[in-house]
Amino acid sequence: MSRPPEQPAADHRGQRESLGAYTLGALAPAERAAVDAHLGSCAECREELARFAGLPGLLNHLSADEAAEGVVPPQLPLEAILRPAAAARRRTRRWLRAWQAVAVLAALALLVVVVPWPGGESPGQVLTAEPADPSLRIDASATVEPREWGMAVTVQADTLPTAAGYRLEAVAHDAHRTPVATWSATDPAPLRLTGSCYLAADELSHLELHGVDGDETDLLATFRG
């Protein structure tokens, strides 16, 4: 095949952009012939085409409907399980293996258990919030009530520093930590909610309240008795 001395730039560009359709076999016969002719004289396009060569085979790993609908879930909601599961596992001693099932349930439960606890039962232990930084205005307390499966923690907050969201964690005497509750900012601030965790009340050292903004978290306060 004779090689044109100069490749018109516009033609090269047009033919090159046809290489995707060429690879997928979607060109009309005349267009296909034009690309073939161009390929004979353009090493750059031959190289580009070679790089596309394996793609149709890979695409065939999916059915047409799967490709059209996407078999990628919007977001696998596992992240929510990982942290509590990991915490529970760390804490679990071998002789406490039976605890694992309980811990999983607790971990799953705390995803949804941010509901008011029926008041008027045992008074529980009251912890008051100490700001992590003296400049932070915080007026909040937490009531910890032992339960058979761990403890219920009721937070009463009248003033909290501004944050998009909040996360309350329980910290054990051995520094092990586990989530208790997460919630979004409310307006006005007064708020009462109950979270839970599998930590036994007598294992609790203190609670930590973190402000969450995107990936950033800030320690806002610790709750101690």
Partner 1 sequence: MGEHAAAGDPLAGTETGAWLRALHESYAGPLFVFAYRALGDRATAEEVVQDTVVRAWQHADRFDPSRASLGTWLFAIARNRIIDERRRRGARPREVTLEGAEVTAAAPFDAESLDRAVEAWQVADALSRLSADHRAAIVECHYRGRTVREAAERLGVPEGTVKSRLFYGLRALRVVLEEQGVVE
- The residues that touch partner 1, with contacts defined as CB under 8 A, are 16-21, 23-24, 26-28, 31, 51-52, 54-56, 58-59, 61-73, 76-79, 81-83, 85-87, 89-90, 94, 100-101, 104, 108
49/185 with CB nearer partner 1: 49
Nearest to 104 by CA among 204, 202, 198: 198
Q: List Cβ<8 Å contacts ≥24 apart for 114-119.
A: 114/181, 114/182, 114/183, 114/193, 114/194, 114/195, 115/193, 115/194, 116/192, 116/193, 116/194, 117/145, 117/152, 117/154, 117/194
88/168 with CB nearer partner 1: 88
CB of 102 to partner 1, least distance (A): 11
CB of 97 to partner 1, least distance (A): 8
Beta bridge partners of 167: 182, 210
CB of 14 to partner 1, least distance (A): 8
3/97 with CB nearer partner 1: 97
CB of 34 to partner 1, least distance (A): 12
CB of 148 to partner 1, least distance (A): 20
CB of 67 to partner 1, least distance (A): 5
What CA–CA distances, in Å, run from 159 to 8, 98, 138, 143, 152?
71, 40, 5, 17, 22
Task: Give the Cα separation of 112 and 41 in Å (integer).
Answer: 65
79/215 with CB nearer partner 1: 79
Backbone angles phi, psi at 205, to 5 degrees: -90, -55
CB of 204 to partner 1, least distance (A): 21
154/178 with CB nearer partner 1: 178
Task: Give the Cα separation of 102 and 113 in Å (integer).
Answer: 15
Task: Give the Cα separation of 49 and 109 in Å (integer).
Answer: 53
Name the 3-class secondary structure at 96. Answer: helix
Nearest to 143 by CA among 160, 162, 119: 119
85/114 with CB nearer partner 1: 85
The rounded Cα 13 to chain-centroid distance in angstroms is 42
3/94 with CB nearer partner 1: 94
